[in-house]
Structure 1
Amino acid sequence: MTIDITGRSASEISADLRTRIERGELAPGTLLPPVRTLATDLGVNRNTVVAAYRQLAQAGLVEARGRGGTRVADRAAVAQEGYAPDTVLRDVGTGNPDPARIPDPTAALARSARPVLYGEPVIDPGLEAWARGWMTEELPQDDVRITVTSGASDAIERLLAQALQRDDAVALEDPCFLSALHTVRTGGYRAVPVPVDAEGMTVDGLRAALAAGVRAVVCTPRAHNPTGASLSAERAAQLRAVLAAHPYVLVIEDDHFSLLSRAPLHSVIGPSQRRWARIRSMSKFLGPDTCLAVTASDPDTADGLGVRLTPGTTWVSHILQRLTLALVTDDEVRAGIEEAAEHYARRNAAFAEALTARGLAVRPGDGLNLWVPLPVPAAGVREDLMHRGWLVREGDPFFLGEGERGSFLRLTVHDLDEEAARTLADDIAAVAGVSGARRPGARGGRIEV
């Protein structure tokens, strides 16, 4: 197919192609001319075409596929967390906490309401005092500022917006938490993948991303979503050493699982870092509808966040802030959070053992989910499991890079009873072609509730 593209500057070329895509003249999947070919045809510098294609990619209109060329993107919705509505299948791909283990806010809510007027501090003083002690674990800096936002994604979006410009590069773990990936893409930034292994973000991957010019790094120190990996003390120290040579790169530490994590926190924020932030969301232990996160950061970063959270615009409800404080300082609620943490860890470990006994080696990790490697393509496994009554989530949407991905499922199984868990493990093993690996009486063959 010959495409008659016009333009002399990057913006003109980008605008011409954008018009054609929006009018439907170029369908999803259409291969655009190679950069060198188009530059020759238009009589422009090769970098002009590169810039035009990059503008289109940041707008989500095209996808660069390495040796596969640049193609018009499919405008399908970006994958998001949550259960699938309107399905009769048993959904084990939700990424949700167990609703039965989310604290009842009724009693605390009655103690949280009082009128708040314009001009009052945007952060509740009680919540700020409590959060200051909670958020400074393993932080070497003395001057720590506290900010409250409407959840972790809101914090990441604001942090990047106050420090970066469109087309700046951001290092993200690969595979990556869907919300972080969506935030970077919709913000117009370039996502640079950093591989993740059993100990978290890799040192060589971070070093390569910094060499590529990233201006921000988003790292999950524990309970990485989707893999469940947590940074070891040694890995965290190695990452801090690499980052020490880049003190003005913004380092965002997303400690989303915090109170529920069974792993110790090993921070990547070192004493020489000048731009940094640690985020802890309440959504995993107080429920997604809490929509509140606390950020600890350096003063300049906090000032940038504060500009976006002034009274009369977008501060977080004081009722919600006081409700959060009442819950996290309640001994009974904290005991329930600890029980939930043990429940998630126990159920994930049991299911991982069950799959391992059936021939699929699975490492439980930390968090709400299990990352299951498969010996066959995940798409076929997903389809076969649907015929057996299960809705699972494939691993592909979590990946950024175009390299070797492998085949994975991300499962949320902590709310399955023993019978359902055993059936799911049997079904996964069967459709993955390893059902014969299970031995009677093998460790992990029985799943205890």
Structure 2
Amino acid sequence: MEALREAIRSGRLAPGSRLPPYRTLAVDLGVSRNTVAEAYAELVEEGWLTARQGSGTRVARRAQPLPQTRPPAPKGRLRTVHDLQPSSPDAAAFPRADWTASVRRALAAAPNEAFGVGDPRGRRELREALVEYLARARGVRTRADRIVICSGFAHGLELLSAILDGPVAVEAYGLSFHRSIIEHAGHGTIPLEVDAGGARVQDLPATGAEAVLLTPAHQYPTGGPLRPERRAAVVDWARATGGLVIEDDYDGVFRYDREPVGAVQGLDPDHVVYMGSTSKSLSPALRVGWMVLPGRLAGRVAEAKGGRELVTGVVDQLAFADLVASGAYDRHVRRMRGIYRRRRDRLIAVLAQRAPHVQVSGIAAGLHAVLDLPPGTEAAALRGARRQGLALDGLGAYRHPASTAPPRDGLVIGYGTPSEHAYAAALDALCLALPGPSGAAEAPPARGR
């Protein structure tokens, strides 16, 4: 309720604005319909809202602003109102009913030994389910004894880094904490420049790297798949040098304009480590990931993990195995692919109308897009975003400090996190934050507000 009060008080919800129906908001927030109804009723009693039969619930029209019920934020501190960071999916879309059903079936079918000391490789039920699913959905070729369950990509990268010996090549634009994991294990990271075809893997032989970390399905964060000839070239490099390709299948299942690009692992299972997780397809809170390893590395990675399962709960593993085997996971991914595609299309349409000078890239897949900005304007755009209460990233935060290519100015916009009812306001704030055609911070004209 306090969030609604603040939205009305600040003017983000204008007088007369219609609020979402109880059912819609309840689904978005993951609460009961009664909870939303009670909140609306209380705000009506307080005079914040009005409710009329056939007109719905609307923001009350007042001649004078409502009094402050709490002190304003200290000067210099800006509050986040809209989350457009490319960090997670829509939390309200977690398939609660399917997950609950899978938990029940998994618990009923689980043998007693499942609740003892866990195998560090992970539950056999999940590894076998992943063999079939990954072959069908991502073109991965493997066996259950070559899969190690982990808590997510970062954990898997930590385990791999523990058994590597030399430097690791990474994409010049990527997550800094992934580089930190590698470097903390004592390995240097060498940037591979990124262009429209993905990472320039043709430069690998000159790096002296033992391994290379790539996001070939959808380069993170700049977008776009690794070109077919580069996919073949990186496998040739691994075969010729004994090197290792670490494939982060970021956003691999969320491709919108054509069929998903298959995994590089399918080209050579003996030289590619394929890694995935549920953090984007289901929830980052689930903490379930997987590593598909060459046979020579599976035992070493399991040994690095420890003598027992300490990171991923058995119930979650069994439930996810059931979710996959029952087909509910496929249905959820298909449903979310449609939702995220519509959000992407809405982002593109709004920008075309209100900021046509801004080029949008990286939109063929995933949960984010890149807005390319004129050189030198990224910092100003980020300041404008903070003033609008937006949480988002600039491309500069992803650039490897040793990259020699000219920096690229841009904003990385995640469209997975906002709930449906909050998305329009988030896009409106984004347009107000963008620099104008000249590069100056010119707010585009508002649309009938």
Flag whether TM exceeds 0.5 (same fold). Answer: yes
CA deviation string 1:406-433 (max 9, x = no partner): 2111111343656325513531444574
* TM-superposed deviation, 1:153: 1.1
For 1:225, the equivalent position in structure 2 comes to 220
* TM-superposed deviation, 1:193: 0.8
Indicate which of 92, 98, 106 corresponds to 2:90.
98
How far apart, CA to CA, are the structure 2 residues paired with 1:99 and 1:272?
35
Identity level (%) = 21
What SS class does the counterpart of residue 288 from structure 1 fall into?
Answer: coil
* TM-superposed deviation, 1:211: 1.7
For 1:175, the equivalent position in structure 2 comes to 173
* TM-superposed deviation, 1:336: 2.4
Unaligned runs of 5+ in 2: 1-76
For 2:290, the equivalent position in structure 1 comes to 294
Residues 196 and 345 (structure 1 numbering): CA distance in 2 closer, same or farther, change over 3 Å? Answer: farther
TM-score in terms of structure 2 length: 0.69
For 1:65, the equivalent position in structure 2 comes to none
What SS class does the counterpart of residue 281 from structure 2 fall into?
Answer: helix
How far apart, CA to CA, are the structure 2 residues paired with 1:338 and 1:208?
37
Residues 232 and 325 (structure 1 numbering): CA distance in 2 closer, same or farther, change over 3 Å? Answer: same
* TM-superposed deviation, 1:337: 1.9
What SS class does the counterpart of residue 258 from structure 1 fall into?
Answer: coil
- Structure with higher RCO (Cα < 8 A, 6+ apart): 2
2:409 matches 1:407? yes
Deviates more, 1:266-275 or 1:317-326: 266-275
* TM-superposed deviation, 1:87: 3.2
Deviates more, 1:143-152 or 1:251-260: 143-152
Alignment of 1:178-327 (within 5 A): 178-202=176-200, 206-246=201-241, 248-262=242-256, 264-269=260-265, 274-312=270-308, 314=310, 316-327=312-323
How far apart, CA to CA, are the structure 2 residues paired with 1:171 and 1:378?
27
* TM-superposed deviation, 1:307: 0.8
Residues 371 and 266 (structure 1 numbering): CA distance in 2 closer, same or farther, change over 3 Å? Answer: same
CA deviation string 1:298-341 (max 9, x = no partner): 11111111112344463633212101112223334432221111
Residues 331 and 378 (structure 1 numbering): CA distance in 2 closer, same or farther, change over 3 Å? Answer: same
Residues 356 and 144 (structure 1 numbering): CA distance in 2 closer, same or farther, change over 3 Å? Answer: farther
* TM-superposed deviation, 1:391: 2.8
Unaligned runs of 5+ in 1: 1-84
Return the letter of the residue paired with 1:305. Answer: V
2:378 matches 1:378? yes
Preserved contact between residue 141 and residue 271 of structure 1 (Cα < 8 Å): no
What SS class does the counterpart of residue 359 from structure 2 fall into?
Answer: coil
Preserved contact between residue 270 and residue 295 of structure 2 (Cα < 8 Å): no
Preserved contact between residue 381 and residue 431 of structure 1 (Cα < 8 Å): no
* TM-superposed deviation, 1:264: 2.3
* TM-superposed deviation, 1:142: 8.4
Residues 103 and 199 (structure 1 numbering): CA distance in 2 closer, same or farther, change over 3 Å? Answer: farther
What SS class does the counterpart of residue 182 from structure 2 fall into?
Answer: helix
For 1:51, the equivalent position in structure 2 comes to none
